Structure 1
Amino acid sequence: MNLKQFLNEEQDPKAVEKLLEKITSLLTSQEFVEYIAVQKKPAINFSPDCIALTNRRIIFCRPKNFGLSMDFQDYNWVDVADCHIKEGILGATFIIKTIKNYTNMMDYLPKAQARKLYQYAQEIEEQMRGVRREKDLETIRASAGGVTVNNATPIIAQPQQFQQQMSHLIESEDPFALLQKLKGLMENGIISPEEFEEKKNEVLSRV
């Protein structure tokens, strides 16, 4: 792995080199490191914490025992709901939130590095939202038990279960993302235009 490609925002070369040594053994087939951000505390820190972004996940890396061992916490991109940064006087804090509402963060990151993390994360997040939408749609189709007869409109075999699932989505999802999902369901014949209008009004009443 070329060390220089990870030093464009003045990352600590020793910290990056040490991390790459450790992280290489964790990478799966066809996985590669895209970016590394290194914490920079005001006090001297011989083993700074780091964040590595790969094409498949976010990895928080925290050295232990004076840098002799490393604690890794990783999150697959498909499970990451949101990433954002907060900039302060002494640097920036990078925060992630998963779809199960678990959060993790790292502070004292140089602002330029935090912005790069955010920029890359936003691009991946956009892709993952599409993946999750498709996944949710498949789940709803499966639980609705839709049956198509001679290419006709699907018949909902378990309407009560379907309605419960839709109600849960309306209560828990981002309203604008949910409207797109409902539109997709209507276009795929899983709900009728009347049902779409009814659910759309429910969603808009929460905005």
Structure 2
Amino acid sequence: MNFEKFLIDEQDPKAVEKILIKLQDMLTPGEEVLYLAVQKKPAVTLVPDTIAVTSKRLFFCIPGNLGLTTNFEIYSWKDIKEVSFKEEFFGARFTAVPLSGENFTVDYIPKVQARKLYQFSNQQIDRLKAELKQEQYLKEQQQRREQFEKESIAQEVIQPVVAETVAPAPEPVEAFEDEITMKLKKLKVLFEKQLISQEEYEAKKSDILSQF
């Protein structure tokens, strides 16, 4: 790994080299170290704290046992609410605010390095927010498409049933029967008034009934 690109803001070369060797064994596939900040106290700092920004996580590397061991506080970007820094007389205090749990702070970070930490960290937080927003948008679009397909299928099933229920009923034959009845009644009235003979009545009646 190229150490020089992590020394542009006067980071301690020995501290950078030491922590990068350890980080190499901890990085996941596709994860890249983007920036390193090294603590610098007013007096000589033999075993400084180091903060590493990667494309997936934020590492607080705290030496223990006079530098023989290192304790790591590691936060995934999705678990960080925000980061902040406060410039003081000697350096700056850099703080990570997780979504749950207590804040984690390292002091005596050189001011330039603290500003760069803030910049790189927010770039990763914003990138993750944009990715999550895009994922949510695509998920909602997929849900809308699935709902539309379900409604379309339901319409195809319902339409034939509706067509059958509203099919016109056959016309009644009562109109033709009423016409025959009326003719027979009129014929009978003529016969009763003796306007036609018995033979004419029977003949006309047979004629009318033959039309039925």
Superposed pair shares fold, TM > 0.5: yes
- What is the CA distance between 1:129 and its match in structure 2? 2.1
Q: What residue number does 2:42 align with? A: 42
Q: What residue number does 2:90 align with? A: 90
Distance (Å, rounded) in 2 between the aligned partners of 1:101 and 1:69: 24
Distance (Å, rounded) in 2 between the aligned partners of 1:127 and 1:28: 18
Counterpart contact for 1:78–1:132, Cα < 8 Å: no
Question: Quick one: structure 1 residues 44 and 22, their matched pair in 2 at CA, closer, same or farther if it must change by over 3 Å?
Answer: same
Describe the SS at the equivalent of 1:42. coil
Counterpart contact for 1:78–1:131, Cα < 8 Å: no
Structure 2 gap ranges (5+): 152-212
Distance (Å, rounded) in 2 between the aligned partners of 1:137 and 1:74: 29
Letter in structure 2 aligned against 1:53: V
- What is the CA distance between 1:130 and its match in structure 2? 2.7
Q: What residue number does 1:112 align with? A: 112
- What is the CA distance between 1:148 and its match in structure 2? 2.3
Paired residues in the alignment total 152
Counterpart contact for 1:9–1:113, Cα < 8 Å: yes
- What is the CA distance between 1:94 and its match in structure 2? 0.9
Q: What residue number does 1:148 align with? A: 147
Distance (Å, rounded) in 1 between the aligned partners of 2:149 and 2:16: 60
Distance (Å, rounded) in 1 between the aligned partners of 2:83 and 2:68: 30
Structure 1 gap ranges (5+): 142-146, 153-207
Q: What residue number does 2:22 align with? A: 22
Q: What residue number does 1:199 align with? A: none
Segment drifting more, 42-51 vs 120-129:
120-129
Q: What residue number does 2:186 align with? A: none
Letter in structure 1 aligned against 2:36: I
- What is the CA distance between 1:20 and its match in structure 2? 1.0
**CA-to-aligned-CA distance 1:90-148 (integer Å, 9 cap, x gap):** 0111111122253111110000000101111111111222344467789999xxxxx82
TM-score, length of structure 1 as denominator length: 0.65
Distance (Å, rounded) in 2 between the aligned partners of 1:127 and 1:7: 25
| 4+ residue segments displaced more than 3 Å | 131-141, 149-152
Counterpart contact for 1:84–1:118, Cα < 8 Å: yes
Cα root mean square deviation, aligned: 2.8
